[in-house]
Amino acid sequence: MNILICGSSGFIGTHLVKLLADNGHKITGLDLNMPRSYVGLADFCQGNILNKTDVHAALRGANCVINLAARHRDSGISRREYFETNVTGSKQLLDCVREARIDKYIFFSSVAVYGNRSEKCDENSVPRPTSHYGASKLAAEKVTRQLAQENSRNSVVIIRPALVFGPGNTANMYSLIRQIDRGQFFHFGSGEAVKSLCYVENLTEATNFCLERIAPGVGTFNYVDKEDLKISETVSIISDSLNKKNPSVHFPLWLGLAIGRIFEFASKLTGQAPVVSAARVKKLATSTRFGAQLIRNRGFEPQYTLEEGLKTMVNWYRKQLYRRPGLAEQFLEISQTLPGKTIVPEAIPVVRLRTPVEITEYMPKPALKNLERTAK
């Protein structure tokens, strides 16, 4: 099958591209951002789902579309921005799908459509979003369903994942792991809140499962890995995987919310994303339990447990520490600028630093100058 994946350069998209390509599909990617890796991509178009010219160019030859493109951050995004990408973008994309006569479409929604509710929600629960993000996803589901209603041959699948984590993720779960690793995590509230999670490799396998069985009409599936973990259990698994002491200090929830609001205010002044937000603190301390039995009733069985997924992500996180992309190349480049001083390292240089440095950072100029002085 020739599949266009919109949002292919993102966290979930990158994993999905590889899996579907490994299963024999020809994958074209469409994203605002260039991919970090072209593994699995037969073609890639840099573009916006809001731009029909970009979409039509990417759709050539496709007979199935998977839409992952979305605005989804917890804070710093207005209601208008959520609806522009998640709803208007979906409408523009679906218009192009109709014009290209493509009859298979998978849309990634979110359990955010159910809102913040204490009771367990499944596919039979009435959506009641409490965030702009959740409201925009619900509105996008509505316009997506229209595709199946217009033609009896059209097949639509809507997937509502819970919080997704795994290697390559640099959002909420990554922040939690980093805070625990640095000794900066504190429990706000009791730590007894239950959080429904899903591991990215299980989610992509579930997507492939739906793709192989896609049929005319609309199918809506939650995706959550079971059994649910309490926050305290998640923190314990991460701490053990990091060989760190399990955080045991608890502070009142109101204090965490106040700290989050301070960071949000500072974020507005600096234009930088907040390290922590009141929304994130509240989300972490609020139970969110979702049922996902429908896809399992169809025969899907996840390969990994939540504990295995968390340990895999922690291992990935640890491998990123001390890594310097292109450090050997930078070292050789310096040596080539020094007449008569050819330096050929026998192995990739290892730079030992006092504190861990994440892969998103690059070698600071002072350190490169030190290498240059050493070479001289």
Cα distance between residue 276 and residue 278, in whole Å: 7
- Using alpha carbons, list the distances in angstroms from residue 272 to 3, 34, 202, 266, 276: 35, 22, 32, 8, 11
Of 82, 105, 114, 133, which is the active-site residue?
A: 133
Where residue 175 falls (left for φ over 0; alpha for ψ -120 to 50; beta otherwise) is alpha
Residue 199: active-site member: no
Three-class DSSP category at 303: coil
Of 227, 221, 237, 231, which is closest to residue 283 (Cα–Cα)? 231
User: Are 153 and 216 within 8 A, CB to CB?
Assistant: yes
- Considering only CA atoms, which of 216, 198, 223 is closest in space to residue 293? 223
Q: Between the CA of residue 90 and those of 101, 144, 260, what are the distances in Å?
A: 16, 7, 32
How many Å apart are CA 177 and CA 183, to the nearest integer? Answer: 10
Give first-to-last CA distance, the chain, whole Å: 57
What span, in angstroms and rounded, lies between the C-alpha atoms of 236 and 244? 9
DSSP for residue 288? B
Q: Which of 238, 366, 226 is nearest to 300 (CA)?
A: 226
Residues acting as catalytic residues: 133
